[in-house]
Structure 1
Amino acid sequence: MSDPKNRAYIPRIADAELDRALRRSGAVLIEGPRAVGKTETASQAAHSEVHVDQDDRVAGLASIDPLLILEGATPRLIDEWQLVPSLWNAVRRSVDDRQDVGQYILTGSTAPGADASRHTGAGRIARLRMHTMTLAEAGASTSDVSLGEVLGGEPPRASDPGMSFKGLTDRLVIGGWPAFQKLATGDVSLNLADYLETIAMVDLRTVDGIDRDPARVSRLLKSLARSVATEVTLTTLAKDEMTLSRDTVRDYVAALERVFVIENQPAWSAHLRSSATLRKEPKRHFADPSLAAAALQAMPEALQKDPAFTGQLFESLVIHELRAYGAPLRASVSHARDSAGREIDAIVTLPDGTWSGFEVKLGTAAGIIDGAAAGLLAFAEQVEQQPSSLTVITSAGPSYRRGDGVNVVAIASLGL
């Protein structure tokens, strides 16, 4: 915003999204993982605040008259509202009574449950998903290449942004956590290990009242980390963890999704010209690839010696960036693999149905890029609706359009 309350505040992609949502809805729910910056972003737009996790009086007052908690200058921020679930219906009723937009901002690190007594808030409460910081928000991308323009068919053009392989592995370990950007890499890794321990010991026990074994949660997190950016099945995860059944793994994964620690990349659905069929298994990602690195205690030096796992983390980083930059466009990010083995790492689809395909390659050698471009073209040829663009995302190098029409874009050149 032009005159932020907190001069140390780092502008976020979500700022403009929040402003738009407040202009069209009575309330806005900002969801996302802990420590992603939801409260700070909401505070820039709020004119009054109540922090449910810090004010012991809120729960008692809510049981008597929850509307008293909502009194204050609008937009009014209700931080960590899910600790007093009755506030959801109170906000919904208040929006109905006031018949005005921009009344409340709710923030939470747990997705609203499927409690039948709670109204969905449809038509009253807009939802905004907040991600960890992108490379651009963290100052690690030049933003010379606009994702929106690439999706619109414009050719990219940018020089090498200068991110080294060591710099990339540092970013994969540090991630996009606002509070950790100025810390040493080792300290960030320890903080994220503590973060995951809190998830295992506290958050998954409180998300829905079901008692889950912290040791098993931790082992499952490690299994998910080893399989990050792959189509690992629940059965395989159960075998890897060794003590949980497939159905219990499904429950644990669903709980991790509710606290925004992991986020599936769904399989794409489209009409193919060939007799091949698209597979339906999602790819597994953490909210930030740094969590996968932390779960396995992988430091930059180890990643530099393990290009296979680093490639998985890099693909997860690219998916993170595509989701965040695509959010203002209301884009969805999926993946595709058919029964003949053809695949695309990411498919970004706009609300009008137009789509663009992306292949992710850690290496930058000409042969690697040639192979990725050929794979994109071969997959696109069998889809009835042709893509707006096809792009190979690399870890370094210039951004340009090849003679065959396929773009090449370095991740540290990508932006809104």
Structure 2
Amino acid sequence: MDSPEPDTRAYTRRVVDDELDALFGSLAAVSIEGAKAVGKTATALQRARTVYRLDDDDQRSLIEADRTRLLEGERPILIDEWQRLPAAWDIVRREVDKPRTPAGSFLLTGSAAAASDANIHSGAARIVSIQMRPLTLAERGVETPSVSLADLLRGVQPAIVGETSVKLADYVDEILASGFPGLRGLAGRALRAQLDGYIDRIVEREFPQLGITVRSPTALRRWLAAYAAASSTTASYETIRDAATGGQGEKPSKMTVGPYRDVLERLWVVDPVPAWAPTRNHLRRLSSPPKHQLVDPALAARLLGVGTGALLQTEKAPVEPAVPRDGTLLGALFESLVTNDVRVYGQAAEARVGHLRTASGEHEVDLVVERDDGRIIAIEVKLTATVDDKDLRHLKWLKRRLGDDVLDMVVITTGSYAYRRPDGIAVVPAALLGA
């Protein structure tokens, strides 16, 4: 049992802290889930009085000998990396079942989702889970937002104003700098080494801890690079599997790739955006594949070996795995950066985020943010400082089809000004979008 450790670094409040404030005052147990290094433990430590670190072998051994230890100590009790001892979940669930367990008793953090066949209770109605993602641009301190996604979701078409000095080169810097809090401030070789180490730990440690033997680490890394090349596309998994060979050997089998992909999703390293399934209307012939995203575009850039020069096309880029996409790799990674922010802000507003693509590919909308009543905000992401009518055709098509179910339409850009066009569409620089 640990008391929370003093941290000499100042804690920067996260968007998810507002969610925790809303939940933890009423619920006995909350689980914070997400990929390693997104900052779960640091956030949980702001509330915890007693800490059990289950990724510490000595602490875990003591608790395995007497699991009731997890209930001892001043509350709130933080059980960090609970998936290392899956029985911890059921111990908390049973404690929460007791009628006099007060709100704010337990926090759990987990860097891997339980397997679908895991022998643990779901925790439904006892333990509420919230997902944590990397830092948004606002959380990084890049800019002070002037446009609120929550306001857009209210459907009142708020005034869109604001100005930023953040330019395209700054967005490239943020793509490469990573949204993992522990990597902020690193640059050059030190940052590249940390990102390489993150990937190595996933392949060499996290897979074995989840009971999966990686017979060919090189093949898994090639598949990850191919997935990175597919960022912000709906390329088929067969296309990604084909691209993973790169002429360097036999194509990995489906039986090999399938479990790899499942584990990467359980680790939240692969974080695809689901296809939007409308509930209030009769849109037909929609495509159902997810849009591919890694948890952080910095990982995608590192897996592909690209830096500032390659992304800005001022120097020759390494040869990428052959995954078809519209536009440049920078455009895809800029969409990844924006997608992270929209998902963080959408979750805070209790909204779901998906993407829309017709089966023919004639129309697609990068992000659809859906309220609980089924009404939506439609968002296009454009790697451009200015917007013209051709950039808006998919938004206008969707508005014609859905009418008032479209609460607002937004184009997110690399420009300097936030404003609303005469046709009602909001133009918002990525740095000015906030919760």
User: TM-score, length-normalised on structure 2?
Assistant: 0.89
1:109 partnered with 2:111: yes
Decide whether the 8 Å contact of 2:48 with 2:76 is kept in 1: yes
Q: Which residue of 2 aligns with 1:89?
A: 90
The 3-state SS of whatever aligns with 2:406 is coil
Decide whether the 8 Å contact of 2:167 with 2:416 is kept in 1: no
Q: Which residue of 2 aligns with 1:126?
A: 128
1:356 partnered with 2:377: yes
1:313 partnered with 2:333: yes
Decide whether the 8 Å contact of 1:273 with 1:384 is kept in 2: no
Structure 2 letter corresponding to 1:403? P
Q: 1:220 aligns with which of 223, 229, 248?
A: 223
Decide whether the 8 Å contact of 2:35 with 2:111 is kept in 1: yes
Decide whether the 8 Å contact of 1:186 with 1:299 is kept in 2: no
CA distance in 1, matches of 2:103, 2:219: 44
CA distance in 1, matches of 2:205, 2:52: 23
Q: Which residue of 1 aligns with 2:69?
A: 68
Query: In structure 2, do the counterparts of structure 1 residues 175 and 395 end up closer, same or farther at CA, with 3 Å as the change threshold?
Result: same
Greater shift in the superposed pair: 317-326 or 334-343:
334-343
Decide whether the 8 Å contact of 1:155 with 1:401 is kept in 2: no
For residues 250-270 of structure 1, give each alpha carbon's deviation from its aligned partner in whole angstroms, at most 9, with x where no partner exists. Answer: 221111010110111111122
Q: 2:139 aligns with which of 137, 140, 158?
A: 137
Structure 1 letter corresponding to 2:232? A
Decide whether the 8 Å contact of 1:343 with 1:379 is kept in 2: no
Note the C-alpha offset of 1:159.
Answer: 3.4
- 5+ residue gaps in structure 1? none
Decide whether the 8 Å contact of 2:48 with 2:77 is kept in 1: yes
CA distance in 2, matches of 1:19, 1:366: 38
Query: In structure 2, do the counterparts of structure 1 residues 132 and 274 end up closer, same or farther at CA, with 3 Å as the change threshold?
Result: closer
Greater shift in the superposed pair: 165-174 or 115-124:
115-124
Q: 2:298 aligns with which of 283, 290, 298?
A: 290
Question: How does 1:25-64 map onto structure 2 within 5 Å?
Answer: 25-54=27-56, 56-62=58-64, 64=65
- 5+ residue gaps in structure 2? 246-250, 318-326
Q: Which residue of 1 aligns with 2:366?
A: 345
Note the C-alpha offset of 1:114.
Answer: 2.3
For residues 16-65 of structure 1, give each alpha carbon's deviation from its aligned partner in whole angstroms, at most 9, with x where no partner exists. Answer: 21222212322111111111111110000111111112251433432x33
CA distance in 2, matches of 1:144, 1:353: 26
CA distance in 2, matches of 1:274, 1:114: 32
1:168 partnered with 2:171: yes
How many residues in Structure 1 have an aligned counterpart in Structure 2? Answer: 410
For residues 214-236 of structure 1, give each alpha carbon's deviation from its aligned partner in whole angstroms, at most 9, with x where no partner exists. Answer: 21211111001111010011111
CA distance in 1, matches of 2:83, 2:61: 11
Greater shift in the superposed pair: 246-255 or 133-142:
246-255
Structure 2 letter corresponding to 1:374? R
Greater shift in the superposed pair: 153-162 or 372-381:
153-162
CA distance in 1, matches of 2:263, 2:118: 18
Note the C-alpha offset of 1:113.
Answer: 2.1
Decide whether the 8 Å contact of 1:145 with 1:414 is kept in 2: yes
User: TM-score, length-normalised on structure 1?
Assistant: 0.93
For residues 265-302 of structure 1, give each alpha carbon's deviation from its aligned partner in whole angstroms, at most 9, with x where no partner exists. Answer: 11112279888510001100011111111111211121
Alignment identity in percent? 35
Decide whether the 8 Å contact of 1:355 with 1:387 is kept in 2: yes
1:18 partnered with 2:20: yes
CA distance in 2, matches of 1:270, 1:61: 46
Query: In structure 2, do the counterparts of structure 1 residues 148 and 272 end up closer, same or farther at CA, with 3 Å as the change threshold?
Result: closer
- RMSD over aligned Cα, in angstroms? 2.1
Structure 2 letter corresponding to 1:214? P
CA distance in 2, matches of 1:351, 1:100: 29
